Amino acid sequence: MEHRAVDFDEFAIRAALGGLPLGGLRVLSTIGSTNDEALAWAAEGGADLSVVIADEQTAGRGRLGRTWRTPRGTAIAVSVILRGPSDPLPHYSRLAGLGAMAVADACRSMGLQASIKWPNDILVEGRKLAGVLVESAWTGAALEAAVIGIGINVLEASGPPPESVRYPATSMETSLGRPPIRAEVLRELLSALITWRTKLDSDEFIAAWEKRLAWRGRQVALLRDGQPPVRGKLSGLAPDGSLKILHEGRLLEVSMGELQLLATDDGSH
Ligand code: BTN
Protein backbone atom coordinates (compact mmCIF):
# COMPACT_ATOMS: atom_id res chain seq x y z
CA MET A 1 0.00 0.00 0.00
CA GLU A 2 1.34 3.48 -0.96
CA HIS A 3 2.10 5.88 1.81
CA ARG A 4 4.46 8.73 2.45
CA ALA A 5 7.15 8.14 5.03
CA VAL A 6 7.15 9.70 8.41
CA ASP A 7 7.49 13.25 9.47
CA PHE A 8 5.34 13.52 12.56
CA ASP A 9 7.22 13.18 15.77
CA GLU A 10 8.13 9.61 14.94
CA PHE A 11 11.05 9.77 17.33
CA ALA A 12 8.86 10.97 20.22
CA ILE A 13 6.23 8.35 19.46
CA ARG A 14 8.71 5.49 19.28
CA ALA A 15 10.33 6.71 22.52
CA ALA A 16 6.95 6.98 24.28
CA LEU A 17 5.92 3.50 23.17
CA GLY A 18 9.29 1.94 24.04
CA GLY A 19 8.89 -0.96 26.44
CA LEU A 20 5.36 -1.87 25.32
CA PRO A 21 5.22 -5.41 23.90
CA LEU A 22 4.16 -4.38 20.38
CA GLY A 23 4.36 -6.82 17.47
CA GLY A 24 5.50 -4.04 15.14
CA LEU A 25 5.04 -0.30 14.65
CA ARG A 26 4.40 1.84 11.58
CA VAL A 27 4.29 5.61 12.12
CA LEU A 28 3.00 7.37 9.03
CA SER A 29 2.69 10.99 8.08
CA THR A 30 -0.42 10.49 6.00
CA ILE A 31 -2.53 7.54 4.92
CA GLY A 32 -6.00 6.90 3.58
CA SER A 33 -7.06 4.88 6.63
CA THR A 34 -4.89 3.29 9.32
CA ASN A 35 -7.43 0.44 9.44
CA ASP A 36 -6.82 -0.31 5.76
CA GLU A 37 -3.07 -0.26 6.31
CA ALA A 38 -3.41 -2.58 9.33
CA LEU A 39 -5.79 -4.94 7.48
CA ALA A 40 -3.32 -5.18 4.60
CA TRP A 41 -0.46 -5.75 7.06
CA ALA A 42 -2.48 -8.45 8.85
CA ALA A 43 -3.16 -10.18 5.52
CA GLU A 44 0.59 -10.24 4.91
CA GLY A 45 1.14 -11.85 8.32
CA GLY A 46 1.53 -8.78 10.56
CA ALA A 47 2.11 -9.99 14.12
CA ASP A 48 -0.26 -9.74 17.07
CA LEU A 49 -0.20 -6.23 18.61
CA SER A 50 1.26 -4.59 15.52
CA VAL A 51 0.31 -0.93 15.46
CA VAL A 52 -0.25 1.64 12.70
CA ILE A 53 -0.33 5.32 13.66
CA ALA A 54 -0.89 8.22 11.29
CA ASP A 55 -0.72 11.95 11.71
CA GLU A 56 -3.37 12.46 9.04
CA GLN A 57 -6.01 10.28 7.40
CA THR A 58 -7.43 11.25 4.05
CA ALA A 59 -10.10 8.53 3.91
CA GLY A 60 -10.71 7.66 7.56
CA ARG A 61 -13.73 5.45 8.14
CA GLY A 62 -16.24 5.34 10.94
CA ARG A 63 -18.93 2.85 11.86
CA LEU A 64 -21.94 2.30 9.64
CA GLY A 65 -20.15 3.51 6.51
CA ARG A 66 -19.52 7.01 7.84
CA THR A 67 -16.37 9.06 7.23
CA TRP A 68 -13.98 10.00 10.03
CA ARG A 69 -11.87 13.17 9.88
CA THR A 70 -8.25 13.14 11.01
CA PRO A 71 -6.73 16.50 10.04
CA ARG A 72 -2.91 16.64 10.21
CA GLY A 73 -1.40 17.48 13.57
CA THR A 74 -4.60 17.40 15.62
CA ALA A 75 -5.74 13.89 16.48
CA ILE A 76 -4.88 10.28 17.13
CA ALA A 77 -5.60 7.72 14.45
CA VAL A 78 -4.31 4.33 15.43
CA SER A 79 -5.07 0.74 14.45
CA VAL A 80 -3.96 -2.38 16.28
CA ILE A 81 -3.77 -5.88 14.82
CA LEU A 82 -5.02 -8.63 17.13
CA ARG A 83 -4.35 -12.21 16.26
CA GLY A 84 -5.57 -15.09 18.40
CA PRO A 85 -3.57 -18.10 19.41
CA SER A 86 -6.10 -20.12 17.44
CA ASP A 87 -8.79 -19.57 14.84
CA PRO A 88 -11.31 -18.06 15.38
CA LEU A 89 -10.10 -15.14 17.45
CA PRO A 90 -11.60 -15.64 20.90
CA HIS A 91 -14.10 -13.14 22.27
CA TYR A 92 -14.42 -11.22 19.01
CA SER A 93 -17.64 -9.57 20.17
CA ARG A 94 -15.81 -7.98 23.08
CA LEU A 95 -13.25 -6.16 20.94
CA ALA A 96 -15.35 -3.00 20.55
CA GLY A 97 -15.40 -2.78 24.32
CA LEU A 98 -11.65 -3.38 24.47
CA GLY A 99 -10.98 -0.35 22.29
CA ALA A 100 -13.50 1.78 24.16
CA MET A 101 -12.13 0.82 27.58
CA ALA A 102 -8.59 1.62 26.47
CA VAL A 103 -9.72 5.11 25.45
CA ALA A 104 -11.67 5.60 28.68
CA ASP A 105 -8.62 4.61 30.73
CA ALA A 106 -6.33 6.86 28.68
CA CYS A 107 -8.77 9.71 29.29
CA ARG A 108 -8.72 9.04 33.02
CA SER A 109 -4.94 9.09 33.10
CA MET A 110 -5.05 12.49 31.40
CA GLY A 111 -7.53 13.74 34.03
CA LEU A 112 -10.72 13.31 32.00
CA GLN A 113 -13.81 11.40 33.11
CA ALA A 114 -15.08 9.38 30.15
CA SER A 115 -18.05 7.11 29.64
CA ILE A 116 -18.83 4.66 26.87
CA LYS A 117 -21.90 5.12 24.72
CA TRP A 118 -22.51 1.50 23.79
CA PRO A 119 -20.98 -0.10 21.97
CA ASN A 120 -17.89 1.98 21.40
CA ASP A 121 -18.26 5.76 21.36
CA ILE A 122 -16.37 7.55 24.08
CA LEU A 123 -18.10 10.52 25.65
CA VAL A 124 -16.63 13.26 27.80
CA GLU A 125 -19.04 15.75 29.34
CA GLY A 126 -21.76 14.16 27.22
CA ARG A 127 -19.96 14.81 23.93
CA LYS A 128 -18.20 12.42 21.61
CA LEU A 129 -14.43 12.47 22.03
CA ALA A 130 -13.46 9.26 20.28
CA GLY A 131 -14.74 6.32 18.27
CA VAL A 132 -13.71 2.74 17.66
CA LEU A 133 -14.04 0.68 14.48
CA VAL A 134 -13.37 -3.07 14.65
CA GLU A 135 -12.76 -4.82 11.34
CA SER A 136 -11.57 -8.28 10.29
CA ALA A 137 -8.90 -9.59 7.95
CA TRP A 138 -9.96 -12.82 6.23
CA THR A 139 -8.08 -15.45 4.32
CA GLY A 140 -10.85 -17.14 2.37
CA ALA A 141 -13.40 -18.14 4.98
CA ALA A 142 -10.90 -18.07 7.84
CA LEU A 143 -10.67 -15.13 10.20
CA GLU A 144 -7.03 -14.13 10.00
CA ALA A 145 -6.97 -11.28 12.50
CA ALA A 146 -8.98 -8.40 13.85
CA VAL A 147 -8.07 -4.74 13.63
CA ILE A 148 -9.19 -2.27 16.29
CA GLY A 149 -9.12 1.26 14.88
CA ILE A 150 -9.32 4.16 17.31
CA GLY A 151 -9.78 7.82 16.50
CA ILE A 152 -9.44 10.41 19.27
CA ASN A 153 -10.06 14.14 18.94
CA VAL A 154 -7.03 15.51 20.75
CA LEU A 155 -6.93 19.17 19.75
CA GLU A 156 -9.95 21.38 19.25
CA ALA A 157 -9.16 21.59 15.53
CA SER A 158 -9.62 17.83 15.13
CA GLY A 159 -13.37 17.78 15.60
CA PRO A 160 -15.78 17.70 12.70
CA PRO A 161 -17.55 20.94 11.76
CA PRO A 162 -20.61 21.23 14.07
CA GLU A 163 -23.06 21.30 11.17
CA SER A 164 -21.83 17.90 9.95
CA VAL A 165 -22.06 15.89 13.17
CA ARG A 166 -24.83 13.53 14.18
CA TYR A 167 -23.75 13.77 17.80
CA PRO A 168 -22.06 16.75 19.51
CA ALA A 169 -18.28 16.37 19.54
CA THR A 170 -15.49 17.46 21.86
CA SER A 171 -11.73 17.10 22.15
CA MET A 172 -9.23 16.49 24.93
CA GLU A 173 -7.97 20.04 24.58
CA THR A 174 -11.49 21.46 24.93
CA SER A 175 -12.20 19.52 28.11
CA LEU A 176 -8.76 19.90 29.70
CA GLY A 177 -8.24 23.51 28.75
CA ARG A 178 -4.77 22.65 27.45
CA PRO A 179 -3.42 20.59 24.57
CA PRO A 180 -2.20 17.15 25.65
CA ILE A 181 0.85 15.58 24.02
CA ARG A 182 -0.23 12.94 21.52
CA ALA A 183 2.70 10.62 22.23
CA GLU A 184 1.69 10.50 25.90
CA VAL A 185 -1.95 9.82 25.10
CA LEU A 186 -0.87 7.04 22.73
CA ARG A 187 1.26 5.42 25.39
CA GLU A 188 -1.60 5.44 27.92
CA LEU A 189 -4.03 4.18 25.29
CA LEU A 190 -1.93 1.27 24.06
CA SER A 191 -0.78 0.29 27.50
CA ALA A 192 -4.44 0.14 28.69
CA LEU A 193 -5.42 -1.84 25.60
CA ILE A 194 -2.63 -4.36 26.20
CA THR A 195 -3.60 -4.75 29.87
CA TRP A 196 -7.34 -5.21 29.19
CA ARG A 197 -6.57 -7.58 26.34
CA THR A 198 -5.06 -10.01 28.86
CA LYS A 199 -8.43 -9.94 30.70
CA LEU A 200 -10.62 -10.16 27.62
CA ASP A 201 -12.15 -13.50 28.63
CA SER A 202 -12.83 -12.52 32.25
CA ASP A 203 -16.01 -11.46 34.05
CA GLU A 204 -13.96 -8.50 35.30
CA PHE A 205 -13.73 -7.27 31.71
CA ILE A 206 -17.50 -7.16 31.21
CA ALA A 207 -18.02 -5.66 34.68
CA ALA A 208 -15.52 -2.88 33.93
CA TRP A 209 -17.08 -2.15 30.51
CA GLU A 210 -20.52 -2.09 32.11
CA LYS A 211 -19.33 0.24 34.86
CA ARG A 212 -18.13 2.74 32.26
CA LEU A 213 -21.38 2.66 30.23
CA ALA A 214 -23.14 5.95 29.66
CA TRP A 215 -26.89 6.15 30.45
CA ARG A 216 -27.16 3.06 32.68
CA GLY A 217 -30.63 2.93 34.18
CA ARG A 218 -31.86 5.62 31.77
CA GLN A 219 -34.56 5.37 29.11
CA VAL A 220 -32.98 4.86 25.71
CA ALA A 221 -33.88 3.92 22.17
CA LEU A 222 -31.75 1.59 20.13
CA LEU A 223 -32.00 2.32 16.41
CA ARG A 224 -31.40 -0.51 13.96
CA ASP A 225 -31.45 -0.41 10.17
CA GLY A 226 -34.73 -1.60 8.74
CA GLN A 227 -36.13 -2.59 12.14
CA PRO A 228 -38.29 -0.78 14.65
CA PRO A 229 -36.35 0.92 17.45
CA VAL A 230 -36.08 -0.88 20.78
CA ARG A 231 -37.11 1.42 23.63
CA GLY A 232 -36.55 0.74 27.28
CA LYS A 233 -34.25 1.03 30.27
CA LEU A 234 -30.54 0.49 29.64
CA SER A 235 -29.80 -2.32 32.07
CA GLY A 236 -26.26 -3.48 31.36
CA LEU A 237 -24.22 -5.92 29.30
CA ALA A 238 -24.54 -9.59 28.47
CA PRO A 239 -21.38 -11.73 28.60
CA ASP A 240 -20.81 -11.33 24.85
CA GLY A 241 -20.97 -7.54 25.11
CA SER A 242 -24.56 -7.27 23.82
CA LEU A 243 -26.66 -4.53 25.39
CA LYS A 244 -29.44 -5.46 27.80
CA ILE A 245 -32.54 -3.29 27.55
CA LEU A 246 -35.54 -3.74 29.81
CA HIS A 247 -38.54 -3.38 27.54
CA GLU A 248 -42.08 -3.81 28.88
CA GLY A 249 -40.87 -6.11 31.66
CA ARG A 250 -38.70 -8.25 29.35
CA LEU A 251 -34.91 -8.12 29.21
CA LEU A 252 -33.86 -7.92 25.56
CA GLU A 253 -30.29 -8.43 24.38
CA VAL A 254 -29.22 -6.54 21.26
CA SER A 255 -25.88 -6.85 19.53
CA MET A 256 -26.05 -3.99 17.01
CA GLY A 257 -27.48 -0.55 16.62
CA GLU A 258 -27.14 3.06 17.61
CA LEU A 259 -28.20 4.34 21.01
CA GLN A 260 -30.12 7.50 21.76
CA LEU A 261 -31.11 8.90 25.12
CA LEU A 262 -34.86 9.35 25.05
CA ALA A 263 -36.12 12.87 25.46
CA THR A 264 -38.67 11.50 27.94
CA ASP A 265 -35.88 10.34 30.27
CA ASP A 266 -35.97 12.55 33.35
CA GLY A 267 -32.57 11.47 34.67
CA SER A 268 -33.95 9.60 37.68
CA HIS A 269 -32.90 5.96 37.83
C1 BTN B 1 -16.87 5.79 14.76
O2 BTN B 1 -17.08 6.46 15.76
O3 BTN B 1 -17.70 5.73 13.84
C4 BTN B 1 -15.58 5.02 14.66
C5 BTN B 1 -14.44 5.90 14.22
C6 BTN B 1 -13.14 5.15 14.08
C7 BTN B 1 -12.05 6.02 13.49
C8 BTN B 1 -10.72 5.34 13.53
S9 BTN B 1 -9.38 6.45 13.21
C10 BTN B 1 -8.28 5.13 13.10
C11 BTN B 1 -9.00 4.03 12.33
N12 BTN B 1 -8.86 4.23 10.90
C13 BTN B 1 -10.05 4.46 10.32
O14 BTN B 1 -10.23 4.65 9.10
N15 BTN B 1 -11.02 4.46 11.23
C16 BTN B 1 -10.50 4.18 12.56
Q: Whose CA is nearest to atom 15 of ligand 1?
A: 61
Which atom in ligand 1 lies closest to the alpha carbon of residue 131?
2
Global pTM value: 0.93
Q: How far is ligand 1, taken at its centre, from the CA of residue 80, in Å?
A: 12
**28-80 confidence digits (pLDDT tens):** 999 999 999 999 999 999 999 999 999 999 999 998 888 999 999 999 999 99
What pLDDT is stored for residue 263 in this prediction?
73
pLDDT digits (tens, 9 = 90+) for 187-228: 999 999 999 999 999 999 999 999 999 999 999 999 988 888
CA atoms within 13 A on the CB side of 214: 22
Q: How far is the CA of 255 from the centre of ligand 1 (A)?
A: 19
Name which residue sits closest to atom 3 of ligand 1, judged by CA.
Answer: 62
Dihedral sign of CA atoms 192, 122, 60, 200 in order: positive
CA distance 257 to 224: 5
Phi/psi at 76 (nearest 5 deg)? -115, 130
Ligand 1 atom with least separation from CA of 130: 2
